[in-house]
Structure formats: structure tokens, C-alpha cells
A and B are shown apart, each in its own frame.
Chain A
Amino acid sequence: MRATPLHWNEGSGWNGAPQDGADLVVYFGAREGLRSGVRYRELRDMFPAAHILGCSTGGQIRDADVSDDEIAGLALKFAATNIKLVCKEVSDPAQSRASGEAIGRALMADGLAGIFVLSDGLRVHGGHLVAGITSVVGHEIPLTGGLAGDGANFTETMVSADCTPRTGIVGAVGFYGDAIRIGHGSAGGWDVFGPRRRVTRSRGNVVLELDGQPALDLYERYLDASEVQGLPGAALRFPLQIQDPQRPAHEVIRTVLAVDRDERSLTFAGDVPEGWMARLMRGNFDHLAAGAGDAARQAYAGLPDQMQGDEISLVVSCVGRRLLMGQHITDELDAIDEVRPGTRLGFFSYGEIAPHAASGRCELHNQMMTVTSIREAAA
């Protein structure tokens, strides 16, 4: 496998295009940078035979750097690996699961070694999408990826899957063959604080009461006045740990996607049934960076040592972590670099997709750092 980093900026345009083309081009950029479709068409011109997959973000990751105005990409040329790209348009979030199932069916074939999926971050129910795919391919096939971002705006997200970037798109690429190995890792690094609270009233993914009190009232106690005004974006700094009492070891982190000031409710990225426990979380720069290092260790631990070859890592981190850490966000990438220096591409997302570190079940995460390591055996 040959991996060629690509990047584009206003001043110098595209840099780093390989001469011998590519099988797969992955690219990430700010929504405004992708919206016109010009960048996609330029890539298509450069790589007419390649599958092209990309999305809008809350910031692009290229090796150990983070940028907002550049477009970062990677052109991959495989030696012995086949790939297949599927693009599904989801016009209604309620179709999320069905779309996932369709993608699963389209990609499910002998030799499927892993799937990397990018989805619209606002118009697709990420949890249902993942459930749809895994219902077909199972949890043994590594499924990683993320939901497209839009900075801290939460206005519009776009995905490009052999098409110009647009909303409501889910693109997924499947990797086939014995030569390729895909590892994965996910970690948070968030610290819980405050008492454990019971979800006493909820409706799907909308939590109305915690411990019998209006959920938003309780949540706002932890924010200062400017942060309260900044909801729901400010809520990225204070995710919630959600736990099913029946599965105490299976904790997930959820970000508040929206608030209803009249109903005093919080809307999360996934369902939060009544009776579940919820606990507020806060970030510590060092702990979050350490979490990123944990994710990298998991991802590389999944690759066989005896199989030598080129490798890259695709990094998907939550935009909330970036908002919280500010310029310290590069500490995350430094932590990954300390675990495994190398070619790295990624973005800050509205949701991360990876197997759960404890259960191994592929799920949608919030506020997590996920690392997908890809290695192809040397030809």
C-alpha cells in the first residue's frame, strides 16, 4: 500500500498528488471549503479511477497538525486489496437504519476485512445507521468512521462519496482481501463528576427529567451565563455518561445535540431510556490527551506484528474535545504520535463510529477519540 498525503489551501492549491494514481482518495475539509464541489472535481480530475470519499468537519487532522482552512487528504494505492464504495442518500433520518442495512448488504461479500463509513452528521441518525450495517455484517467485521461536522455551527454537514459533497449522504468503503488488516481503538479520557443521577423521564433520545428535576435546569447549573447562552454548542464541553443499569460496565458518552428551553429538555445523539443512569462529565486536557493515546494503543494492538507493510491511521475525534481543548487539541495528536508515529489523516466529527472498547460491539460514540489503523502486507 502506498499512501500519499494530499492537502489543499487557498494559497497553493493541491499539493502532493502521486503520479501513478490511486484506488481510494479520502479527504476532509470545512463545509464552506467543500460546498462548491470544486475541490471534489479537482480530485476527480487528478484521480479519475479512484473512489473518492470525504466529508465536512469541525477541523481537519493531518499527522500531528490541526487546521480549519486547509483540505487534508490521503491517496491510497493498494497492492492486493480490493475496495468497494457505496453511496446512499438519506432523505429522512427515519431511513437511517434501512440505509445502514442497504450499505451492509452492498458491501457484504467474501473477504470483507473492514468498513470505513462517513455520514451526514445532522440528517442521519448515526446510531440507527450503525445498527443497520451491523445487522447485516455483524460485529466481527470492524466498522469505523464518523459523522460529518460543521465546526461548532451544527447547521449543515456534507459527505462526498464519488460525488460532489452534499447533505443527506452516507458513503462507505469496504476493504477486501487477506492482505489488509484493520485495527481500531476508542477512548474518551473524560472525568465524571457530581452525583449519579437517574433518568426519571425521557422520550426516545429526549431527556426531560433527571432525578425528578427538569433536565435542562440541572444541566445549566454547571454552566456559566455565557455557556448557557451558547447552548447547545457549549454543551459539547460537558457530555454525559449514560449507563444501562442492567449493563453497568457498558458506559457510553453522549453529547447534548439540542436543548428545548420551553420543555426544559436535553436531546442526545442516541436513545436514553427511563431508569438509565446519567452522570455529568468534564474534560481535563491531560486526561483527554491520554485518552487519545489509549485509543491509538488499542488500534495498533489489533494489527499483527508479524505482518509487515505500509500503514496509515484514520483519526476521528469529537468536535467537543476540540472546542474544550482549544489549541491544546494537538496534545491528542501528540499522544497518538508517541504511540505510533506515521501517516495520519482525520477530522473532528459530530459522532464517532468504532467498536466499543469493552464490548466489541460497533457503536456510535460521542466525545471520543477513535483511531482506525490500516496496514496492507508488503507485496
Chain B
Amino acid sequence: MLTSPQLSALQAIIPAERIHCDADSLDRYGQDWTRYTRPQAAAVVFPLSIEEVQAVVRWANAQGVAIVPSGGRTGLSGGAVAAQGEVVLSFERMNRIDQFDPLARTVRCQAGVVTAALQAFAQEQGLLYPVDFASSGSSQIGGNIATNAGGIRVVRYGMTRDWIAGLTVVTGSGELLQCNLGLNKNNSGYDFRHLFIGSEGTLGLVVEATVRLCDPAPPSAVLLLAVPQLPDIMAVFHAFRSRLTLQAFEFFSDQALTHVLAARQAQPPLAERQPFYVLLECELPPSADDAPVLQAFEHCLEQGWVVDGVLAQSQQQARALWRLREGISAAITPRTPYKNDIAVVISRLPDFVSWLQALLARDYPDFEVLWYGHIGDGNLHINVLKPESWELEEFRHACEAVNKQVFALVAEFAGSMSAEHGVGLLKRDYLGVTRSAADIALMRGVKAVFDPNNIMNPGKLLRRAG
């Protein structure tokens, strides 16, 4: 709750109709896609301009109120959760796309531009914004930047970081910074842009971004392959990547497929089920000749890595195959899955996976564990489903016990405890799996420089001091 002097001071900078304090708004804007924390926001503000954002930050510093930056709230680590009486600063109304530069192939977006709107804008210009994920219809560019969002085309186009040519940010102390100015080449000292990308709102607020666009993707083929053994997936990856340019290389387990088919009331794409499937999309040569695709498949078949597969014959079939992968997250949401998002260097993935499979089978045989993810990037999403009869708290504690062991293995393989979902609240206490004590101490130091009064998303990413 804000005190009445705090509220009147806020109303002096933002008109009252853009400050929401009703229970419904506080609940809706106080949380993201994670459902583990009860939202407790004090207010939601909807600024329209950079000046208003700066004014709110100055107000928060003066009043000692914390700010949670808020975009599409599709995060999976609790980074946008307001559970401690913070003020949520929503970028929903700052959603302008302007200053398209066809020569530089960049466009400027306000933080609240929805990813799909940017993608559609690029398409209208005959270009592509290639970062894409299942939540692109809701997620906003500012949130993508704050979490350095990845998704399904990372194997071809990289993460959000690779597409940001310039950033306008308001720091935790209310200063306005122009980072990198949209330049291609700019060796003029520390590049703050990269500090803000992936900072999860702990240093300041991204208010505008200059985003790079690229040529549209060439014609591609979409395949679904049936793979009996998980570690063989990397051999399949190599077989295809050495012959073709991969646009995406995803995998999921038959159990995950079962959930999607049940939710969508669909038929399995292959009558004979196998434990794992690879969904891959590869660029075709200009002649659209699928010979290299068949060669790669034949090789995998001969080696026994793959036992069957289908090739989409139309865009409609391609989309139907993609829905099998993209539908997993939504299909299992009713089971409140405990999500893991880990990564190791791909060359170590087969070994890592064998160890992890053994660990889960030995210690947690009763849990239903679903495997899927962007395996071409070494990124696994391991989802543990809550048994119907368990209470949420009890389940969460059990999963945290599993986590300790999983993360010990991640540390042993020098992997990441959060490949693309970010750290937020949920993964905060495991940061040490991937980052050293010296790293974390320096991160605190950086935060103190940009956000001296610790008003920016406190408690996310880094545990509160003391």
C-alpha cells in the first residue's frame, strides 16, 4: 500500500486514470506466467513517455518505493512478479514503432511493442525480425531485452542480444542513457547496452530500442524424426547441420507428445511411437531440392539414430508439426509443472543427458518428468509434473530437492542454471551454480552504480543484501 502523500505525489506526475489500484489490476499486473508467488503490488502505473518514466523513477527514489518493470508478463522465472508492495511500471501504453531505416535495416521500438507486432512490421517491409518464441503474441520487446529472450530460432539467429543496435534506458537513479546509438561499429568504451540486456530490470528500465532486421528466411523443410535414444539426438544434429543450414532444432519426449495430443485431441504424426522426437527446420537450396534432406535422413537411418520420420508437404503440415512442439507448455500448464531451463555446451550434452536420466530414474522414479527444449543450443527444458494428489507447496519442496542434485550435475558439466528464462525470483538461490562468488560480488557492485537506492526490481536475480 502506498501512503496517501506517496499517492498524491505520484498523481502529480501521472494522471490518476493511469494509476490503477483496484484488486483486479494489482493481481493481473503483479504476476507473470509463474504461479508460485502471490502478487502483492501497491499500484500499477502506465506511463506514456520517457519523461513520465523518469519522473516515476525519481519519485520512487524520493519515496523509497521499489519498481517492478512490466511487459507482456510471460516470464517463467518470476522476474516480473510484484510480491512485496512494489509499484508495477507497465509499458503497455508505450507501443510505438517508428524511425524505420531501410538502409541501415533498423527500426526503433518503444519498450511496450509486442514481439508479434514487430515481426509483422518487419514483414511489411520485406524483412524479418528473427527472434521468435511461443509467447510472441504477448511478450514485449522491452521484456525480451531485459531477459535476453531466446526461443526457437536461436540455433540460426542467436538471442535477442544479437539484434539490439541501440538502447535508451532510464537508470535506477533516473538518468537517461543512450547506449550504442544504433551503430554497427562503436568501440568507445564500456558498452552499457550489453549490461542492460539480460539485467532483468535490476539496473533500470529499457524504454526504447533500435532493433536490427534481416533478410526473410529462404524456403525451408520441416521434419519430425523419431529417435529411440536421447543421446543420439546430437549425432542427428551433426548429420543435418553438416549438410544444411538449420533454422531450428528442437526435441521432445513421447510423454510430452502424449500431453499435447490429448490437449489438442490430435492424432500422432507417426503411428509407431518412439521415446523421443526431433523437430527440425532447415533451409533448402534455391532449387528447393530436398535431396540433401533425404541424404541426411538416410545416413541417420543407417546409423540407427533415427527409425522413422515425416516431412511436411505444405505450410499447413509444417505448422501442424510445429504445434506439436509449441503446444507442450500450454498443454501441461494445468499440471503446474516445475520448470527447469538448463544448458551445457552441446558437445557435452550426450554425457550430461545420460547422467541426468540415470539420476532422475534412480531418485525420483515416481515423478512424471517431461523432456523437451532447444537441444540444438544445448538447452533442455525439464518439466516435472505435479501428481494430482499432491499439494502445491509439498510438490515445490520435493522439486527443490531434485533441483539440488540436478544443479550439482549442471555445475559439474560447467553448464547454465538458466539458459533463457532468466533468474528472477525462482532461480535466484541457484545463481551460484553458474556464477562464481567473485562474479556475484561484481554484479552487486554494478547494480549499486546504476541503482544506488536499490529500487529497481529488488530481490530479483540477486538476493537482497544482509
A-B interaction: no
Contact surface of A with B, Cβ cutoff 8 Å: none
Contact surface of B with A, Cβ cutoff 8 Å: none
